Amino acid sequence: MTLPHLILILSINVIWGMMYVAGKLGVDQFEPLFFTGLRFALLTVCLLPFLRIVPGRMKRLLTFCLVMGVLHYTFIYYAIDHAENVGSIAILSKLSVPFSVILAIIFFGEHVGPWRVAGIGTAFMGVLVIGFDPVVFNNLDSVIMVLAAALMFSIAALIVKSLKDVNVFTINAWISAVSFGPLLGLSFLFEEGQINSLVTADWFDWSMLVYSAVLVSIFGHGGVYYLLQRYPVSLITPWLLLVPIIGVAGGILFLGDEMTWRLGIGGILTISGIAIVSLREAQKKAI
């Protein structure tokens, strides 16, 4: 990998890792559904030139958009809002990797070797350790929500396999365009104080929204897509395991999160298990 591309992948890791901090700061000002709806409204404006009909794929694409845009992001931002420690959210959200393998076994009869079985087992052992951390245990609702978010992500990942040849910006444009209306509607049904949050928001609050929309979605997803066109999956995937580590570090540095021994050990187990599954999956695709 060339030095500019190495800098790019490291920058993406930092941006994606810090999105948990940005999300936490964002939902401190805006309600979770409202923040997510605003995020997608801004993203729709930015990606409007890429919003085009994909012949023969629209039903599958719209299903993907609802699962990923409405369900996944609703769960993840509510999890961030309810969590005392965003590091646990950064780690547990990556369970989408073993969830995807489990769903592939159930629905597609995919064969899974001993290494991936061991990886899945190790990841879930880490979840148990994290779950019994007092800081996390006191907010079990956030754990349930992030697990639901990871499951929705894994379902979306299976759907998007049939959309591999569709431009990543077109997919993101449709996710945002399909999602922002329902999310804002649900926000006004179930949340309060939206107008007040708009009026009282300062430049920092708006910057968290811009960060989540522009840097995370456009720069982050676009950058990974660019790298995957030039390097094998087996080279790119391991680098992305830095995301939860940066998320934990960001929570400690900027939000004052507590780093407990259970979160540390559980995080190591979970990330190790995910690494095993990811690397074996990448090797399988490379063959």
What residue spans of 30-85 are helical by DSSP H?
32-46, 58-65, 73-82
Structure tokens at 238: 């391991």
What pLDDT score does 2 carry?
87
Give pLDDT, residue 234.
Answer: 66
Q: CA-based diameter of the chain, in Å?
A: 55
**Helix extents (H) in 161-260:** 168-190, 194-200, 203-210, 222-228, 233-239, 242-255
How many structural domains comprise the chain? Answer: 1
- In tens digits, what is the pLDDT along the chain, a chain of 287 residues? 788 999 999 999 999 999 999 999 999 999 999 999 999 999 999 999 999 999 988 999 999 999 999 999 999 999 999 988 898 899 889 888 888 888 888 887 877 788 888 888 888 888 888 877 777 767 789 989 999 999 999 999 888 877 878 888 999 999 999 999 999 999 999 999 999 999 999 999 999 999 999 999 899 988 988 888 788 766 777 788 888 889 999 999 999 988 888 888 988 998 888 888 877 666 665 55
Candidates 4, 87, 34; CA nearest to 212 is 34
Position 238 scores a pLDDT of: 74
Confidence at residue 202, expressed as pLDDT on a 0 to 100 scale: 96
CB 94 within 8 A of CB 154: no
Tell the residue number behind the tokens 């996710």, with chain if given: 175
Please report where in the chains the tokens 């499951």 appear, as a residue: 151
What pLDDT is stored for residue 194 in this prediction?
96
Kindly write down the DSSP assignment for every residue of 162-179, as one continuous string: GGTTS-HHHHHHHHHHHH
236 within 8 A of 16, measured Cβ to Cβ: no
Residue that is written with structure tokens 């934990």 in the block: 248
- What does the alpha-carbon distance between residue 230 and residue 192 come to, in Å, rounded to a whole number? 46
| pTM of the entire predicted model | 0.88
**CB-based contact 175:40 (threshold 8 Å):** yes
- Tell me which residue range forms the domain holding 75: 3-286
Residue type, 269: L
**Quick one: pLDDT at residue 58?**
93
